Amino acid sequence: MTAESVPPTAAPAPTDFIRTIVAAHVAEKRYSQIVTRFPPEPNGYLHIGHAKSICLNFGIARENNGRCNLRFDDTNPAKEDVEFVDSITADVKWLIAGWADHCLGFKPKGTHPAKVTSSGQPDYYLAAVNPGPDSEPFFASDYFDALYDYALELVRRGKAYVCDLSPKETEAYRGAPDKPGRNSPFRHRSIAENLDLFQRMRAGEFPDGARTLRAKIDMASPNVWLRDPLLYRIRHVPHYHAGDKWCVYPLYDYAHCLSDYLEGISHSACSLEFVPHRALYDWILEALDLPRPLPRQYEFAKLVPSYMLLSKRNILRLVQEKVVAGWDDPRLPTISGLRRRGIPASAIRCFVISVGVTTFNSVTDIAVFEHAIRDELNTLAVRRLAVLKPIKLVLTNLTPGEVIECNATNDPQSETPSTRKIALTREVFIESDDFAEFPPSKYFRLKPGGEVRLKYACIIKLDEIVKDAAGAVTELRCTAQLDTRSGQSNADKKVKGTIHWVSVTRCLDAEVRLYDRLFTVPEPGAEEDFMKVVNPHSLDVVTAKLETSLAGAQPGDYYQFERLGYFTPDAKDSTPGQPVFNRTVSLKDTWTKLPAQS
RNA sequence: UGCCCGAUAGUGUAAUGGUAGCACAAACGACUCUGACUCGUUUUGUCUAGGUUCGAGUCCUAGUCGGGCAGCCA
């Protein structure tokens, strides 16, 4: 293999504090395999913050020949729904496609953890398989039997008890961070009574909220999560996945650590707000005296890109109040929104990997994301000509029916670029921004008496500006210097400016959606009300003139409209032969930033 | 006013106790049939005060600032 043929995936693996720990565990052979997991709750859509967790967990798996299980953390039947299971699964698959698909852990359809014997002790275990027609993601709700069994064991060991305190009383007894809690009056029930009561809770004998199962730890602990945390609550609600079999449901802290254990997870990475929960995570696993190596929890800082709002709750509000058109609105940082916007999965991965993994809460400049997008698209996107805000230009030395074929490059970044033919005709559209009757200094574009090159065609000179009665420019009359075309005698003639264009008679009208950031401030989440800082110009819809070859554009195709930016056909509103384009991101522009422009 | 965590250029992120690097951003320049890309140059940094040490971004102490924790949410 030559140096040139090394695939881009050969980029050095990232290093961070979690990977350093994993590497140490690999060296000491602590686990038989490195297994991570991505555990979303199916109560909303995935966003770019989740992408960080996905890249970390799948990244660790692929770098260590391991596995990363997709597991739905669905222990709250009131909030969860299959709709989200489907969208989350699709988003995860899209995000890791071609990168870590081989690490994705599913389970055989319909299976639950099997009771096995490990190290001479009874145990539960559910191994992962590759995704396929007979497999599905993991669900914490498939562990309810095993979890119930472990809860019974905790009771038998005198480490859990049934508490009859009401929600309000429970809160009062818990105390405050700076004040110790008080023991529940039910803390010293006998094991037999606890067993009986817990079984009757499960049997449905008590109404919602009447009793809970609690861990017996320490009501005076400075860590409030250790003050006899709730393990189970009563909810007479059917579960979208588990059906109506249960009326007691485990809480996150109890379910999560054991779900990790059941799947043989080695490293359980979560965000920083779970740091105080780690002691509980460890306590539950250790209290059960389990036979296999225990998973451990590691916490990292969430991704917070500037100008974005990431929490599900806030995104939901933007959707409900119709600030955006839905969960997959291209202005939203949801994975489905980013995909619809035209951002490649590889760009999302490059971005989150470049940000790194630390324990420091930070805000990442959106420019880093935009750079990653442009960097990927520069290689992936096919070049086309399009005019967003057209103004007519007449080449007076061409006859009305004359067609001059020009060769345009599709992929200038390729080592073996291909070309296509585009038609130069007497009348063309150019970008209205590319003409100025009274140009500022250093204006390289079309101006009175000036010359520019029409990209892939020839140099033209502006002779005359035609205006209507109101004084608005209606037409620019120019002379084409046909000997400056590629291959002609004067082809090497230099002019300072080159502009894009589209033939008036050979073009396609199309709706183009120009998206901009959704908020006007870098940290909308820090605002008293983020609705007040919504960018009123986050969407500008224009009817653009496109070169005809764009009629066949399909969703999933990436284009660069030269000198403008990257565009992709909208996956929802495009129809065959009539694409609607979304602007993914503009090209970097060092001209309009100049002070002369303001 | 309890406990836990954190702090390195504008932003993000590196640095077995041994020359503070990298990326993005910004500025300037080269190149250019995309004012893009690419290439080159430059600006800007270890929160504060003590201590240990030949030597501290790194270890210790105190402080400052920031974040988190009292759902029968996850």
Assess whether A496 and A392 both reside in one domain. Answer: yes
Assess whether A359 and A401 both reside in one domain. Answer: no
Q: Taking 50 as the threshold, does the pLDDT of residue A107 lie above it?
A: yes
CA of A364 to C1' of B2 (A): 33
CA of A244 to C1' of B72 (A): 19
Q: Which residue is closest, via its CA, to the C1' of B34?
A: A563
pLDDT, tens digit (0-9, with 9 covering 90-100), for A47-105: 999 999 999 999 999 999 999 999 999 999 999 999 999 999 999 999 999 999 999 99
Residue A65 to residues A23, A36, A50, A54, A61, Cα–Cα distance (Å)? 12, 11, 22, 16, 6
Read off the CATH number of the domain in which A193 is found: 3.90.800.10
Domain edge (last residue) among A224, A250, A276: A250
The tally of domains found in chain A comes to 3
Q: What is the pLDDT of residue A374?
A: 98
Q: Taking 70 as the threshold, does the pLDDT of residue A203 lie above it?
A: yes
Domain edge (last residue) among A505, A529, A549: A505
Q: Taking 50 as the threshold, does the pLDDT of residue A229 lie above it?
A: yes
Mean pLDDT of A568-583: 97
CA of A591 to C1' of B40 (A): 21
Assess whether A151 and A246 both reside in one domain. Answer: yes
3-state SS class at A195: helix
Mean pLDDT of A232-243: 98
Assess whether A215 and A329 both reside in one domain. Answer: no
Q: What is the pLDDT of residue A13?
A: 79
Q: What is the pLDDT of residue A594?
A: 55
- A587: the nucleotide nearest its CA (via C1') is B36
CA of A284 to C1' of B62 (A): 37
Q: Does residue A321 form part of some domain? A: yes
- A40: the nucleotide nearest its CA (via C1') is B74
Mean pLDDT of A281-304: 96
Q: Helices A252-262 and A144-156: crossing angle, nearest 10°?
A: 110
pLDDT, tens digit (0-9, with 9 covering 90-100), for A330-355: 999 999 999 999 999 999 999 999 99
Assess whether A544 and A452 both reside in one domain. Answer: no
Residue A596: which residues within 8 A CB-CB, separation 6 or more? A440, A441, A442
- A43: the nucleotide nearest its CA (via C1') is B74
Contact A374/A588 with Cβ under 8 angstroms? Answer: yes
Q: What is the pLDDT of residue A181?
A: 96
Contact A265/A60 with Cβ under 8 angstroms? Answer: no
Assess whether A155 and A245 both reside in one domain. Answer: yes
Nearest to A123 by CA among A287, A292, A295: A292
pLDDT, tens digit (0-9, with 9 covering 90-100), for A547-567: 999 999 999 999 999 999 999
Q: Which residue is closest, via its CA, to the C1' of B67?
A: A361
Q: What percent of chain A has pLDDT over 70?
A: 97
Q: What is the pLDDT of residue A596?
A: 42
CA of A318 to C1' of B31 (A): 46
- A367: the nucleotide nearest its CA (via C1') is B24
Within 7 Å of a protein beta carbon, the nucleotides of strand B are 1-8, 10-15, 23-27, 33-38, 66-74
Contact A428/A422 with Cβ under 8 angstroms? Answer: no
Q: Taking 60 as the threshold, does the pLDDT of residue A593 lie above it?
A: yes
Cα gap A59→A19, rounded to integer Å = 9
Assess whether A498 and A394 both reside in one domain. Answer: yes
Question: What kind and span of H or E run contains A96?
Answer: helix A82-96
Q: What is the pLDDT of residue A487?
A: 92
CA of A497 to C1' of B29 (A): 19
pLDDT, tens digit (0-9, with 9 covering 90-100), for A455-507: 999 999 999 999 999 999 999 999 999 999 999 999 999 999 999 999 999 99
End-to-end CA distance of chain A: 52
Q: Does residue A43 form part of some domain? A: no
Cα gap A448→A342, rounded to integer Å = 38
Averaged confidence pLDDT in chain A: 95
Q: Which residue is closest, via its CA, to the C1' of B70?
A: A176
Read off the CATH number of the domain in which A540 is found: 2.40.240.10
Cα gap A565→A386, rounded to integer Å = 10
CA of A183 to C1' of B64 (A): 38
- A413: the nucleotide nearest its CA (via C1') is B37
CA of A278 to C1' of B68 (A): 13
- A522: the nucleotide nearest its CA (via C1') is B11
Q: Does residue A121 form part of some domain? A: no
**Of A11-25, A351-365, A528-542, where does mean pLDDT reach its minimum?**
A11-25
Q: What is the pLDDT of residue A592?
A: 81
Q: What is the pLDDT of residue A119?
A: 87
CA of A132 to C1' of B55 (A): 59
Owning domain of residue A485: 383-505
Q: Does residue A161 form part of some domain? A: yes
Greater confidence, A571 or A598?
A: A571
- A178: the nucleotide nearest its CA (via C1') is B2
